[in-house]
Amino acid sequence: MSFHRFDTRPRTGLVAVLLFLSVAAGIHLSAGGRQKTQQTQQTPTFRSQVNIIQVDAVVLDREGRFVPDIRQDEFEVLENGKPQRIASTAVVNIPVERVEAPLYTVGTHVVKPDVQSNAEPFEGRVFLIVLDDLQTAPARTNVARRIARDFIEKNVAPNDIAAVIPTSGNRRTTQELTSDRRLLLQAVDQFVGRKIVSPGAALVNMAGTPESGEQVTPGSPTDPAAPERIFNARSTLQTLTDITTYAGRIRDRRKAIVYVSEGIDYSFGAVQQITQPVDGTGLGFVHTEGVSSEVRDRMLGFVAAANRGNVTLYAFDPRVYTHGGDEFVDIASGLPDNMEEGNEQDKVKSLKGQDDLMNSQDNLKVMATETGGFAVTGSRQELARAFDRVRNETSNYYMIGYYAVNEARDGKFRKIEVRVKRPGLRVDARKGYTVPKGNAPAPVVTAAEAGTSPVVVEALSSALPVSGLPLSASAAAFKGSGPNASVVVIVQTPGKDLAFTPKGDKFEDSVELSVAAIDKIGKTRGGERAMVDMPLSEKMRSFVAQAGMVFQVRLSLPPGQYQLRIAGRDVGSERVGSVHYELEVPDFGAAPLTMSGLVLTAEEAGQVPSPRPDVDLKQALPGSPITTREFAASDELTVFAEVYDNKASQLHTVRLTTSILADNGLVLGTQNDDRSTSELGAGRGGFGYAQKVPLRGLSPGLYVLKMEARSTLDREAVAIREIQFRVK
């Protein structure tokens, strides 16, 4: 198989941000905040604003087996004893066995698809893995990592999504919701416990001795660790509440918090006022042995938020291992046998240490059971069974939605009872929820620009992709004109899903597109918004209906890991869709040789109308950049990348190799090209490289298109990019 070179001219970094100016074939475009766009449609009403309550219910027979065939009219839901109108009932039956995604592999190397699509609705589980670094001892860091890694490797399937969140807010340990297990494990490996010494241990380490007669109360002003310990307890519970509130926005799914923590080691009993401030601010706390009432209230607030958001917490205590990693912690041990009469101070310290352990594990159990979950605090052998139980409980259930008769946002608790009319069955469901007070919360994701429609903002804020308007997206990072990279985002939608309206001799429709880049801690770091107006002739409208439409937008982003939230709205039909895309933006100046992402088009599949092409990509590609990754054997691909040589001041050659690999790793075709750094004029620019790749002779199946750059100056200087594609 032979390849053909195409337009391989020396180039500099791509333009940082490019806004659409117009569209070929009579399509006109305006960018939000730059040109006015007429919108005659009224703002639609969102279903999420309706007072609908969702509750998941597990229906079991006498043998404890899940019953999957209950009809909606067989359910009854009561709220505070009053019947409620059931709006919807859906059975969720996700296969327990993990189904591996169709990934191409060569040895241990995995080439994942570079395109994400919302063509199929989300059909997996939702896991929020909370690593409580504020309540985990540094010595048990590796144990906590081990528990989290085991859960991810054994329970998070390719069709699931999960997030990793530390309670301290440590960015390195944070990973937004993703289906990429590599990113999840990478975040877990950055976890480090930072727990402050417990009250009992603080008592043991204090200066008071039996001889001195000094009495020290943990949590009192004489306990120097108390302020930070209490602050950490409040922070842990606030983080859990925030996570739960966010997860509550995810509809139609049970959400599971996998909580790896040693728990908060205070008792939440009666409170007493201490007279001296403990935090240096002049403010006293209300305490029970060092615990402020605010901490207790935040515990209750978390439970209320979890029940309101239909979120279940499963707790895993790292103390199921000893420091050696293989022994069990005996949580039921009593006082040492050699405690003799007269050692009252030692007895107090030992009892206090046991109290701390019991309090922390009791708190784990309360947080779990009050939200419908359970806590593992016994032995390592419980973990495997517990993992299976979590997977089962998040895989088989009914999701029931009902309109609450009482619509008041009064902050009160409401009891829920779910019944089944069919005899001999048992229903397990949450017992109630606390109604929030005040107005509904604002969207999580800030709109890219003013003028973004509320439904698009809501789609950007959604933790899960929205499947209303079909979209597929790909993104490639290029070197920018400054420290930031220039990221081109390519979005494609089928033309048959665009609702054009006849108007005179034209057919009119508009598409609103918005892209937001979310960093690892959930902060919006950049975005763009565009409104594409499409007055088409009948001939062009027919062509768009067959070929679809491609949109291109540019973002300027610093190096880092991002989740791109891409949302589109077809004005004609008011259908809204969104895609989540995981993107790593490299530091193109950090290595001697680096490569941009790959952009692809095809002779046949690339004949798709697009807004006025990106200036740089138009010079490099013979057709529109596309997200299609399935081609006919008669087609011919063109792949484009830029290669950046950071040692161009030393004259040398860079060899560029383009290859097609079969699913068994066999190289089916290769093209080599040598480029001299003399083309760059001793600068730090890049080689623009485009290569035509014919598919003739390829049998139907999965393949990888691989582009490699290798420097003759440094044998270790190699850059590789790959794209998975299929021949039909």
- The pLDDT assigned to 439 comes to 67
Cα Rg for the chain, rounded, in angstroms?
A: 30
- The pLDDT assigned to 37 comes to 31
- Top pLDDT among 210 and 475 is at 475
The answer to whether domain 4-33+449-727 has CATH 2.60.40.10 is yes
- Top pLDDT among 352 and 394 is at 394
Q: What is the DSSP letter of 325?
A: S
Q: Judge contact between 579 and 472, C-beta under 8 A.
A: yes
Q: Quote the pTM value.
A: 0.69
Convert the pLDDT of each residue in 547-581 to its tens digit.
899 999 999 999 998 999 999 999 999 999 999 99
pLDDT at 32 over 70: no
Provide the pLDDT confidence category of residue 88 given band limits of 50, 70 and 90. Answer: confident
pLDDT at 102 over 50: no
- The pLDDT assigned to 281 comes to 31
- The pLDDT assigned to 451 comes to 78
Convert the pLDDT of each residue in 156-175 to its tens digit.
888 888 999 999 988 888 88
For 166, the 3-state DSSP assignment is strand
Tokens found for residue 582: 């995981």
CA distance 652 to 658: 20
Closest CA to 308 of 409, 209, 391: 409
Spans of all domains in the chain: 4-33+449-727, 51-94+398-434, 121-393
pLDDT at 215 over 70: no
Convert the pLDDT of each residue in 653-703 to its tens digit.
889 999 998 877 788 888 999 988 888 765 556 888 899 999 998 999 889
Closest CA to 654 of 673, 628, 681: 673
What's the mean pLDDT when you consider all of the chain?
78
Convert the pLDDT of each residue in 506-560 to its tens digit.
999 999 999 999 887 778 888 888 888 888 999 998 999 998 999 999 999 999 9
Q: In which residue are the tokens 């475009």 written?
A: 29
The stretch 227-256 carries a mean pLDDT of: 86
Convert the pLDDT of each residue in 414-431 to its tens digit.
889 999 999 999 998 888
Closest CA to 415 of 51, 55, 49, 52: 55
The number of beta carbons lying within 10 Å of the beta carbon of residue 444 is 18
The stretch 605-618 carries a mean pLDDT of: 84
Alpha carbon 144 to its chain centroid, in Å, reads 21
Matching fold, domains 4-33+449-727 and 51-94+398-434: yes
CA distance 363 to 296: 11
pLDDT at 491 over 70: yes
Convert the pLDDT of each residue in 177-193 to its tens digit.
888 888 899 999 999 99
Q: Judge contact between 470 and 576, C-beta under 8 A.
A: no
Which runs of consecutive H residues, i.e. helices, occur in 523-599?
Answer: 538-547
The answer to whether domain 51-94+398-434 has CATH 2.60.40 is yes
Which are the contacts of 182, defined by CB distance < 8 A and separation ≥ 6?
none
pLDDT at 286 over 50: no
Helices (H) and strands (E) counted in the chain, each on its own, are 10, 40
Q: Across 598-662, where does the E strand assignment appear?
A: 599-602, 630-631, 636-645, 653-661
- Top pLDDT among 389 and 353 is at 389
CA distances from 517 to 32, 448, 524 (A): 17, 9, 6
pLDDT at 443 over 60: no
For 236, the 3-state DSSP assignment is helix
- The pLDDT assigned to 58 comes to 87
∠ CA(605), CA(608), CA(611), 5° rounding?
145
CATH number of the domain located at residue range(s) 121-393 in this protein: 3.40.50.410
- Top pLDDT among 142 and 348 is at 142
- The pLDDT assigned to 51 comes to 59
- The pLDDT assigned to 300 comes to 85
- Top pLDDT among 288 and 382 is at 382
Q: Judge contact between 317 and 378, C-beta under 8 A.
A: no
- The pLDDT assigned to 5 comes to 39
Convert the pLDDT of each residue in 302-345 to its tens digit.
988 888 888 999 999 998 775 333 333 333 333 334 434 444 44
